[in-house]
């Protein structure tokens, strides 16, 4: 297979099978009805691209996917080295032609843009936005590149790549611009849109002794997570990352640099807080409130095996009651997973408890299991570990603990380039299916626990599913829930005790590379099994809401599922700040007006 053949394969789908009144204005369909591709009329000339290159200080580059290394042969040394690198999330993030997920069977594949602006300043972003608008180009924005929906890549596009905009500045006190005398100063951190959460935690917690609410995965980008709403491991205590946003700098489609906060551009500020990345403009930096650090963070791990179906059903019920009575509070987050084969995996985290207190919480549960040795068994002794909170994301500390964190092993990689060992399987993954649903807290009530137990048991006959307790805000303090209500995130999250996820992935793969192609047939079988598993869940929640960052690519009612009653207001913000639809992403606000690839206007306003 030659290089041209590989790039031709990459150009086709993967084996395709609150208050609107103050903002609303008549929507006008601005701009052309389609966008040009290379070689078509309207595509910029070489001289015009050179003009953009000068405007961004030489930081315009032609983009080529590293996967072309396999054009000389799938078994070549270069190709094999590439596929080893595809398991390193830092390598993936440092390549403008790659994304953290390489694709989703029957949905999308990672495709490089034609050109990328490797932005280092707001001026670089502004020049790129103006150039894209003036030439009617398909525009893509990428920071961390973690989008499961493939929104941070598109063929035949111009990429604004913010990876190098990664500065982190901690403030003892901060007042948003224009809010002097209206808001009290508060501790905060200003973060460039290309920064990753692991580096931010190291700066804020390890070095400054504060906490900032962010993502659980250390290689997720700051801007993308906040614009998606932003759940982290400790959301039951600190709320949505979006709710901690104090101020953002954003370049909008009209070529203006705007400051968005509660005093300036408040509607845009609200939309940024959970309305989805890549829909309203290019965020260049964000300022987030920081919180006092608890004494301890910690984790609990265990694998429990049941001897029979009946024993597994009873185990699920026993755990749900234990969760409701003991863990349904701001101390606890993360997940439990129910697997075919009658296996339950625990991977929980906690804050504000020391080792002795955490062990005391779990002792009744594990003692109860020990009293039924013929029905259930621990595959290994449970692990309960508390650590000083200031060291929870300390790279030096984590590297001393066997099997907890992995490092970027490239020569010269920064010391802070670490990631959780549990996230290794996600690096370079190809998704087979992914579905999620928020589960309302009413299902935990004792008279509903039997129904919930049966639904989870039935679902686990088809595929694994996990309950992410930190991705629902029921059980959080009232002020945390109230702050989340002032974001664009679907209000269903406020009353959910957990986000249920059922998903599957394959290792790094790409069509057209022998020995490294996606297992399409197997993926379709898995997708059917996950759909059956979710069918059991839908008996309890017939039309579930879901978290847009972790959801089904094929969700038909995505506006309602992702944003519920907030969608109309979001669309009004979109029409004010981007009436021409310069910013289009899959299932993003206003994307129903465009073809799936974002190149042809699909409907009249």
The number of residues in the chain equals 605
Phi first, then psi: what are they for 529, rounded to 5°?
Answer: -65, -40
Above 80 in pLDDT, residue 18? no
Burial of 351 (0-12, 13-18, 19+ CB in 10 A): buried
**Interval 512-566: pLDDT, tens:** 999 999 999 999 999 999 999 999 999 999 999 999 999 999 999 999 999 999 9
Domain ranges, ordered by start, for the chain: 3-164+559-593, 310-387+425-553
Q: For position 13, what pLDDT does the model report?
A: 35
Q: How confident is the model at residue 17 (pLDDT cuts 50, 70, 90)?
A: very low
pLDDT per position as a tens digit, 41-73: 999 999 999 999 999 999 999 999 999 989 877
Q: Give 100-137 pLDDT, tens digit per residue.
A: 999 999 999 999 999 999 999 999 999 999 999 999 99
What percent of the chain lies above the pLDDT cut of 70? 94
* 449 closest CA partner among 557, 323, 297, 554: 323
Res 163 pLDDT > 60:
yes
**pLDDT computed for residue 323 by the predictor:** 98
Band (pLDDT 50/70/90 cuts) for residue 10 is very low
Pairwise CA distance, residues 423 & 421, whole Å: 5
The pLDDT of residue 603 is: 66
> How does residue 604 score in pLDDT terms, banded at 50, 70 and 90?
low
User: Which residues are 438's β-sheet partners?
Assistant: 499
pLDDT of 3 above 50:
no
* pLDDT confidence tier of residue 4, bands split at 50, 70 and 90: very low
Of 160, 3, 8, 11, which Cα lies nearest the Cα of 96? Answer: 160
Mean pLDDT across the stretch 487-511? 97
- The CATH class of 3-164+559-593 is alpha beta
| Average pLDDT value over all residues in the chain | 94
Question: Considering only CA atoms, which of 256, 261, 288 is closest in space to residue 272?
Answer: 261
Which residue is it, tokens 């390890």? Answer: 206
- Comparing 114 with 74, the larger pLDDT belongs to 114
Q: Specify the residue for token string 């099978």.
A: 17
Name the packing angle between helices 446-460 and 309-322 (round to 10°): 140
Question: Is-contact 499 438, C-beta < 8 A?
Answer: yes
User: Lowest mean pLDDT: which of 27-31, 127-131, 367-371, 380-384?
Assistant: 27-31
Structure tokens at 220: 């997720």
Q: Does residue 386 register a pLDDT over 60? A: yes
CB atoms within 10 A of CB 161: 27
For residues 353 and 339, what is the distance between their CA atoms, to the nearest angstrom? 29
CATH topology of domain 310-387+425-553: Vanillyl-alcohol Oxidase; Chain A, domain 3 (3.40.462)
User: Which letter, b or e, does each residue of 375-403 get, where b requires 16 or more Cβ atoms within 10 Å of its Cβ?
Assistant: ebbeeeebebebbebbebbbbebbeeeee
- For tokens 């670089």, the residue is 124
pLDDT at 357: 98
pLDDT in tens, 214-251: 999 999 999 999 999 999 999 999 999 999 999 999 99
**Is residue 9 scored above 70 in pLDDT?**
no
What pLDDT sits at residue 75? 80
């Amino acid at each position: 297979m030659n290089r041209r053949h590989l790039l031709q394969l990459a150009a086709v789908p993967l084996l395709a099978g609150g208050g609107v009144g103050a903002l609303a204005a008549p929507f006008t369909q601005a701009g052309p009805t389609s966008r040009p591709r290379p070689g078509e009329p309207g595509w910029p000339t070489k001289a015009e691209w050179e003009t953009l290159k000068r405007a961004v200080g030489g930081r315009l580059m032609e983009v080529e996917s590293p996967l072309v290394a396999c054009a000389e042969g799938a078994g070549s040394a270069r190709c094999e080295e590439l596929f080893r690198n595809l398991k390193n999330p830092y390598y993936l993030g440092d390549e403008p032609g790659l994304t953290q997920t390489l694709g989703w069977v029957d949905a999308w594949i990672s495709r490089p843009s034609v050109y990328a602006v490797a932005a280092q300043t707001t001026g670089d972003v502004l020049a790129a936005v103006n150039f894209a608008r003036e030439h009617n180009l398909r525009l893509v924005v990428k920071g961390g590149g973690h989008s499961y929906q493939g929104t941070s890549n598109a063929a035949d596009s111009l990429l604004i790549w913010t990876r190098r905009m990664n500065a982190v500045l901690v403030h003892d006190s901060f007042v948003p611009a224009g809010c002097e005398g209206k808001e009290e100063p508060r501790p905060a951190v200003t973060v460039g849109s290309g920064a990753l959460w692991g580096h931010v935690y190291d700066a804020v917690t390890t070095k400054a002794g504060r906490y900032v609410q962010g993502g659980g995965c250390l290689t997720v980008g700051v801007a993308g997570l906040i614009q998606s709403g932003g759940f982290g491991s400790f959301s039951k205590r600190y709320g949505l990352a979006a709710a901690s946003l104090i101020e953002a700098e954003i370049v909008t489609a009209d070529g203006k640099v705007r400051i968005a906060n509660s005093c300036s551009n408040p509607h845009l500020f609200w939309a940024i807080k959970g309305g989805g990345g890549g829909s309203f403009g290019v965020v260049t930096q964000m300022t987030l409130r920081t919180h006092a650090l608890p004494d301890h963070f910690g984790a609990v791990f265990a694998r429990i095996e049941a001897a029979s179906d009946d024993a597994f059903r009873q185990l699920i019920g026993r755990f749900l009651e234990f969760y409701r009575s003991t863990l349904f509070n701001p101390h606890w987050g993360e997940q439990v997973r129910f697997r075919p084969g009658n296996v339950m995996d625990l991977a929980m985290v906690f804050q504000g408890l020391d080792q002795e207190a955490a062990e005391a919480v779990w002792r009744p549960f594990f003692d109860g299991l020990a009293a039924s040795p013929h029905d259930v068994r621990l595959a290994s002794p449970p692990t309960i570990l508390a650590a000083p909170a200031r060291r929870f994301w300390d790279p030096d500390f984590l590297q001393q603990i066997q099997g907890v964190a992995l490092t970027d092993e490239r020569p010269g990689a920064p010391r802070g380039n670490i990631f959780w060992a549990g996230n290794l399987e996600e690096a370079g993954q190809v998704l087979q299916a992914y579905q999620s649903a928020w589960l309302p807290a009413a299902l935990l009530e004792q008279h509903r626990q039997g129904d919930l137990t049966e639904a989870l048991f039935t679902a686990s006959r088809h595929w694994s599913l996990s309950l992410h307790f930190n991705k629902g805000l029921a059980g959080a303090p009232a002020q945390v829930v109230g702050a989340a209500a002032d974001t664009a995130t679907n209000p269903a999250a406020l009353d959910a005790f957990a986000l249920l996820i059922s998903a599957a992935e394959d290792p790094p793969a790409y069509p057209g590379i022998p020995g490294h192609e996606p297992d399409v047939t197997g993926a379709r079988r898995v997708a059917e099994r996950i759909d059956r598993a979710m069918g059991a869940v839908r008996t309890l929640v017939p039309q579930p809401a879901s978290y847009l960052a972790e959801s089904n690519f094929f969700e038909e009612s995505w506006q309602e599922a992702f944003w519920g009653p907030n969608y109309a207001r979001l669309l009004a913000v979109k029409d004010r700040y981007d009436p021409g639809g310069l910013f289009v992403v899959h299932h993003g606000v206003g994307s129903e007006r465009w073809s799936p690839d974002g190149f042809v206007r699909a409907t009249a306003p």
